[in-house]
Amino acid sequence: MRSTDLFAKRIISSSSKRTVRNQPILSDFHETLLDELLKNILQLSKVSPFTHMPTIGLSHDMIYMECAGNEFLSKYLKSMAPNSSMYQYYFFEGIWKSWIDGENFEDERDYCMYYLLKDRQWTTYDVEDLLCWSIIPRTDDGWYLDTKHQLQLDPSGYSQVIGITLNNDTGDIEFMFAQAKKNEHNLFDAGDVMDIVTNGISYAYFTLDPPNVEYHSHPFNEMKYLPKRLVNIPNYLLTLLHTDYLLKMISTGVEICSQTPFEMRPTSENLMQRLPVHICEELQSIVKKKSGLLTNSIHRFWIQPESEIEYEQAYYRNFFGRTNENITQFYLSDKIKMCVKKHRMKYDEKGNLIDDKDDNENDESAEAEFARVFTKYYDEIGEYFPELLRLKELLKLSVLSRIIQSRYESQCDLAAQIENDTTFETYLTEVKNKIGNYPTGSVEADEKTLNAISNNICKNFFCKKSNLKPYLFDWLRHGQHKALVTFVKQSLIQCKAKLKFTIEKFSLHYDDEDHDDEQRLNNDTTQCFWVPAAFSSDLSMKVYGGVILTPNPKVRTGVKNESEKSKKSKTTENVAKLSKKSKDIKTDQNGNIKSKSHVIGRGAGPSGDPKIHSIPFNSKKGAMEAAKKDGKENRPIHHGVNYEKKEPAHWHPADKDGKIIKNGKHYTYGRYSKT
């Protein structure tokens, strides 16, 4: 079914380049083209038996056969659709491309989604769990709010990353953050900080691409990302997804509901009402701005840093103005600019979606204008969609992660140098030769020798005298120097590389060589990674997206001074305190926050039955699975929303006889559920 597309693209490409060349009749491109056409003939034979046509000379016969062929193929695909996702897909594609009439686009989209998900052993609830992210509040029926909102992060969150202090005298690591004022957004919390630094996230790439090169009108987009370990940080990964998805919806003018069956409606009805009028007027969807045909218009829009991340390294000064180089401070500038980029795309001869190197659109195109306007108002749009501002802070946290990783590597190098240094062994040999036999027979002389050597070693190698003496005594009396050498070197390492042990204690390092061997964008095949594509029955354009968070740090003097003069409410968080906070913020596999404080109402009620014990979840499926697990895999019992009492819908765990287990547990979700 791609044969016509392949020929059309080749003809257009050839007609635009009318230079005469001496080249083989069949070039490499033609060979590839013929090979792909043969593959597509085989594919077509699977889809429709009405493939071979008789030789026809008259134009009206050709028109008749075209109409008859379309009518036959339409009815054939419809009859075969319930048997295979392939037939259902091509039937849906025909409706979207308007060569199949009289069918309901939304209904066939639902069927197509169902069958394609079924092939992967996924359900629409798996997709819903990706879209119903509790950090972004939505209406009860799954749409974006039309008013300004706050991100639903832990209440003790932060608005800005200021910097970090690394104290090698004590081994302490302190993060410097700004706390949000009443009119500001909390953009990250302790969980985000620990997730990024413990997983060594120093960059991130994310895209939404077509899942199948054969299905150009696939109703889903596929998430791909790098590094692969982002799957272990759901709130980070879902931030990339939802910012990219937001950009996709605004650019196409199509809002997608987060709840099954993922209905679509114009963004002007709700989503864009959140923004000021002057931004809405400039930030019209490409469809409204575009002049001319949109057929086969394929573009990628992505978000990335536009500016470098400026920082300043400083050393701590005490009350008397003395500099202590063992205490290093890094301050990050808040003057980070984000931008939206765009590039036209095309299908190559093998059906893969690639960048169009011949993109000769002038800078006045609707796509280029959209990217410019979004970049111009990025921060202002972020005030109404704070997930966009959150990207900046995640980017700065990745710089802190890189700083910690770099310090850890340098401290490991220092530890290795100390371990490989033979100076101490040489010192022991010289001492042994100098003192001769030990013990000498004189208790007083032996004690004097032991104390002199002990004092010298403690002074130069930072050992504790009480711990050193047993090793020193064994060496002097029995010549056992290995244990002494190990103890002394480890004492020196613990003194000179205190930060190394703090970083290891809280797992603030990541071994890329052992765990991060992926080199290309990918995803976790054990989980659903599809989201509904943003297009509608009257929209012929396709938009793919992406987010690139690759910091480009640059040293600049004055960043510290700017930070100190800022009126923002600053706070410092020791890594131990931050780690404890992070553990108190528990998330499920979809990144939904579940704090200890959310488990409420323990004890017994007046009837003697256990008091209601509400455990909130973001999705119906999540609540159901938790109740099922609590009931030892027996089917749980569902109760709907009680609007009069404002009680949320919930699941009860049940026993093997289908009766509610009276443990007081309500696994709640949706409206009135206190997440």
Q: Strand, helix or coil at 143? A: coil
C-alpha distances in angstroms, 148 versus 151, 186, 239? 10, 14, 18
Averaged pLDDT, 119-127: 91
pLDDT tens digits along 617-628: 877 778 888 888
- CB 260, CB 128: distance < 8 Å: yes
pLDDT at 608: 41
Report d(CA 516, CA 534) in Å as an integer: 32
% of the chain residues with pLDDT over 70? 77
pLDDT at residue 514 greater than cutoff 80: no
pLDDT at 595: 46
Torsion sign, CA atoms 249, 253, 256, 261: negative
Averaged pLDDT, 263-271: 92
Where do we find the tokens 């220092």?
414
pLDDT at 587: 54
Torsion sign, CA atoms 609, 614, 615, 618: positive
pLDDT at 16: 46
Q: Is residue 586 within a helix (H) or strand (E), and if so which, with residue range?
A: strand 585-587
pLDDT tens digits along 588-607: 445 555 544 333 333 333 33
Averaged pLDDT, 301-325: 89
C-alpha distances in angstroms, 27 versus 16, 22, 31, 126, 214? 18, 11, 6, 46, 24
pLDDT at 645: 63
Averaged pLDDT, 305-314: 94
Query: Any residues with CB less than 8 A from the CB of 310 and at least 6 apart, and which?
Result: 332, 333, 335, 553, 554, 555, 556, 559
Mean per-residue pLDDT of the chain: 82
- CB 338, CB 345: distance < 8 Å: no
Has this prediction a pTM greater than 0.85?
Answer: no
Q: Is residue 179 within a helix (H) or strand (E), and if so which, with residue range?
A: strand 173-179
pLDDT at 618: 76
pLDDT tens digits along 336-386: 999 999 887 676 656 666 666 766 656 677 888 889 999 999 999 999 999
pLDDT at residue 406 greater than cutoff 90: yes
Averaged pLDDT, 73-94: 85
Which of residues 26 and 535 earns the better pLDDT score? 535
pLDDT at residue 581 greater than cutoff 70: yes
Averaged pLDDT, 38-54: 57
pLDDT at residue 469 greater than cutoff 80: yes
Least confident span in 501-510, 553-562, 568-577, 599-608: 599-608
Which of residues 513 and 353 earns the better pLDDT score? 353
Q: Which of 268, 224, 208 is nearest to 532 (CA)?
A: 208
pLDDT at 249: 93
- CB 29, CB 118: distance < 8 Å: no
Q: Which of 393, 332, 375, 398 is nearest to 184 (CA)?
A: 393
Query: Any residues with CB less than 8 A from the CB of 342 and at least 6 apart, and which?
Result: 299, 300, 301, 302, 367, 368, 370, 371
Averaged pLDDT, 295-304: 78
Averaged pLDDT, 292-318: 82
pLDDT at 36: 63
pLDDT at residue 162 greater than cutoff 90: yes
Report d(CA 389, CA 641) in Å as an integer: 35
Averaged pLDDT, 121-148: 91
Name the band, by pLDDT with cuts 50, 70 and 90, for residue 316.
confident
Report d(CA 230, CA 516) in Å as an integer: 11
Torsion sign, CA atoms 289, 291, 297, 303: negative
Which of residues 236 and 526 earns the better pLDDT score? 236
Q: Show the tokens assigned to 396.
A: 């700065």
The stretches of 290-442 forming alpha helices (DSSP H) are 366-376, 378-384, 387-420, 423-435
Q: Which of 403, 333, 395, 409 is nearest to 173 (CA)?
A: 403
Beta bridge partners of 310: 554
pLDDT at residue 492 greater than cutoff 60: yes
pLDDT at residue 14 greater than cutoff 50: no
Domain boundaries in the chain? Answer: 1-47, 50-119, 126-410+508-593, 411-505, 599-669
pLDDT at residue 409 greater than cutoff 90: yes
pLDDT at residue 612 greater than cutoff 70: no
pLDDT at 598: 36
Where do we find the tokens 């639903």?
152
Q: Which of 619, 600, 620 is nearest to 664 (CA)?
A: 600
pLDDT at 358: 67
Query: Any residues with CB less than 8 A from the CB of 133 and at least 6 apart, and which?
Result: 238, 241, 242, 590, 591, 592, 618
Give 587: exposed, middle or buried? Use CB within 10 Å, 0-12, 13-18, 19+: middle
Least confident span in 104-113, 407-416, 552-561: 104-113
Least confident span in 59-68, 207-216, 560-569: 59-68
C-alpha distances in angstroms, 404 versus 18, 164, 200, 603? 58, 9, 9, 45
pLDDT at 606: 34
Where do we find the tokens 């992406």?
546
Which of residues 54 and 424 earns the better pLDDT score? 424
